[in-house]
């Protein structure tokens, strides 16, 4: 079965083809980073308009890569939510229009499920069950994953997610968008002893997160500088921020593994590409004889491959989930626990 995946939840247009027999056949991605940099963040209306321009050329690109005709597609999967409403509507309308024209079944996919399952696309995928640390944009969650569609929420952020804290703290330091990679690069040159920033909820005795206080601590340090901050001091603040945030993510992940009795941790989402986080998790896991699995770097951020793969896995588990009802709706807010089993 060949599944076309379409991702358009925010500022990246991704399309991919996944074959349940031969694996990932092709994928293509257009990122809008350059367009949004001028504004210091994603402008939803511009994002939606750009998805319209990119979707069909990317479809032609993946079909050419896979050397397939569009009629050889067996099903179409698209990101139904969560995400920006306008951006989601573009992907949904393209998916439903194409599926109707080809008389193929269609399936709406939860964006976070795509991220959760994306490490299974790696050359050495993890086996179920595992604990997943999902750090994607506005989401920071710890989940127990027992199989496709079998997810138990263990803890989540109560306010700012890790990705939001990265972006907001980077902006406070005058760094360019996207802030996460920028503040991580600057942190590499910082002194780890210069600023000891708070580790929110590190000892909360649960698996929830809170990063708004850490962001506020960065703001306070910045405001305490009466003159312009030199580049070295920015690097020191960045280092203090990154170390604090990673300490919390690592500690909570290790606690989740210990409490569950499982030995495998899977990291998913854009922040999962962070080199400091990967190094810290690998070190902590090795001490406890745990295994850590990551998506390939190209699949950490939003992409069509994870949607095509999630769609294929869903249809393999339950073919009845697909429909030929081409009237569509999107779900900008969509709790993961509401997914059908």
* Pairwise CA distance, residues 145 & 138, whole Å: 20
Domain 2-116+299-338: state its class.
Answer: alpha beta
| pLDDT at residue 322 greater than cutoff 80 | yes
| pLDDT at residue 337 greater than cutoff 80 | no
Place of tokens 């900008």: 332
- H helix intervals, 140-178: 162-172
Domain 128-294: state its class.
Answer: alpha beta
pLDDT of residue 328: 87
* Pairwise CA distance, residues 74 & 328, whole Å: 19
pLDDT of residue 40: 85
pLDDT of residue 315: 95
CB count, 10 Å around CB of 144?
Answer: 17
- CA nearest neighbour of 168 among 254, 268, 41: 41
| pLDDT at residue 203 greater than cutoff 70 | yes
For the stretch 215-253, pLDDT in tens is 999 999 999 886 788 999 999 999 999 999 999 999 999
Element (H, E) at 14: strand 12-19
For the stretch 60-118, pLDDT in tens is 999 999 999 999 999 999 999 999 999 999 999 999 999 999 999 999 999 999 999 99
For the stretch 119-163, pLDDT in tens is 999 989 999 999 999 998 889 999 999 999 999 999 999 999 999
Q: Are 246 and 276 in contact (CB under 8 A)?
A: yes
- H helix intervals, the chain: 33-37, 44-66, 85-102, 111-117, 162-172, 179-187, 212-223, 231-260, 275-288, 304-317
Q: What is the pTM of this model?
A: 0.95
Average pLDDT, the chain: 95
- CATH 3.30.420.40 domain residues, the chain: 2-116+299-338, 128-294
| pLDDT at residue 53 greater than cutoff 90 | yes
Q: What is the DSSP string of 96-111?
A: HHHHHHHT--EEEEEH
pLDDT of residue 126: 97
pLDDT of residue 336: 85
pLDDT of residue 228: 80
Strand partners, 17: 4, 26
Beta strands 264-268; 291-293: pairing state: parallel
Q: What share of the chain has pLDDT > 70, as a percent?
A: 99
């Amino acid at each position: 079965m060949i599944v076309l995946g379409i991702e358009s939840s925010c500022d990246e247009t991704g399309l991919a083809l996944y074959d349940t027999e031969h694996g990932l056949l092709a994928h293509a991605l257009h990122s809008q980073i350059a367009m949004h940099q001028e504004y210091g963040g994603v402008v939803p209306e511009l994002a939606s308009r750009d998805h319209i321009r990119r979707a069909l050329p990317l479809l032609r690109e993946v079909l050419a890569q896979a050397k397939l005709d569009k009629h050889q597609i067996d099903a179409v999967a698209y990101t139904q939510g969560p995400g920006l409403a306008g951006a989601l509507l573009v992907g949904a309308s393209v998916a439903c229009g194409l599926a109707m024209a080809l008389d193929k079944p269609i399936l709406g996919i939860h964006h976070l499920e795509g991220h959760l399952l994306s490490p299974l696309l790696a050359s050495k995928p993890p086996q179920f069950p595992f604990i997943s640390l999902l750090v994607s944009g506005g989401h920071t969650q710890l989940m127990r994953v027992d199989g496709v569609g079998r997810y138990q929420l263990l803890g989540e952020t109560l306010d700012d997610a890790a990705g939001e804290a990265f972006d907001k703290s980077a902006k406070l330091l005058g760094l360019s968008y996207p802030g996460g990679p920028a503040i991580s690069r600057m942190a590499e040159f910082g002194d780890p002893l210069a600023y000891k920033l708070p580790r929110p909820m590190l000892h909360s005795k649960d698996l929830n997160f809170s990063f708004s206080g850490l962001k506020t601590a960065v703001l306070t340090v910045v405001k305490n500088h009466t003159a312009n901050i030199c580049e070295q001091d920015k690097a020191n603040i960045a280092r203090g921020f990154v170390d604090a945030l990673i300490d919390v993510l690592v500690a909570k992940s290790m606690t989740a593994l210990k409490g569950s009795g499982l030995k495998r941790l899977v990291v998913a989402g854009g922040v999962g590409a962070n080199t400091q986080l990967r190094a810290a998790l690998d070190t902590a896991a090795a001490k406890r004889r745990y295994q850590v699995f990551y998506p390939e770097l190209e699949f950490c951020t939003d992409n069509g491959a994870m949607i095509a793969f999630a769609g294929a896995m869903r249809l393999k588990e339950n073919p009845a989930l697909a429909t030929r009802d081409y009237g569509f709706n999107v779900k900008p807010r969509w709790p993961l626990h509401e997914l059908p089993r």
